[in-house]
Amino acid sequence: MDAVSGRRSLRWGGLVLFGLLLAWLPLEDVHIGAALTLAALFGLWLYGRLISEGRLSALAHLGWAALAGAVVPIMALVLMVFKSGLHAHGFSDFSVAQMLGVLAHVPQALGVGVLVGFFAQITGRRDRGEEAN
């Protein structure tokens, strides 16, 4: 995939992600699954944006992947707070325990981000015909 089609794919991915967010916001949903899914999709989209600008060193690749992974629970928390404020009930759509539970998973999400970056780097090298050193 060349750089132009990669950026176009990311643009379309961002538009689809925004559409999913707009479809989720009006729902009266108190489960964290949808917020986590949207946040994970945002993390993947962010990772794609961060690495699409050019060739990166292995360490930079893993660093950007770790950052994108760590953003997932934080973004889920932001989405949960935003949705609760948008609905303007006398109570929050999500409990404090749910929000703190999501936030407690930042280290695991960071680790998953590193793994995603590692495998993306391996498959990218294989696709380019390079040997892993």
pLDDT tens, residue by residue, 56-77: 777 888 888 898 899 999 999 9
Contact 133, 122 (CB under 8 A): no
Residue 20 lies in a domain: yes
Q: How many residues in total does the chain contain?
A: 133
Q: What is the pLDDT of residue 126?
A: 58
Model confidence, pTM: 0.80
Out of 17-26, 49-58, 62-71, least confident range = 49-58
Residue 133 lies in a domain: no
**pLDDT higher at 97 or 53:** 97
Q: What is the pLDDT of residue 85?
A: 80
pLDDT tens, residue by residue, 73-104: 999 999 998 888 877 777 778 888 999 999 99
How many domains does the chain divide into? 1
Chain centroid to CA 23: 18
Q: What is the pLDDT of residue 125?
A: 61
Residue span of the structural domain in which 114 resides:
3-128
3-class secondary structure per residue, the chain: CCHHHHHHHHHHHHHHHHHHHHHHCCCCCCCCHHHHHHHHHHHHHHHHHHHCCCCCCHHHHHHHHHHHHHHHHHHHHHHHHHHHHHHCCCCCCCCHHHHHHHHCCHHHHHHHHHHHHHHHHHHHHHHHCCCCC
Average of pLDDT values for 105-123?
Answer: 89
Residue 62 lies in a domain: yes
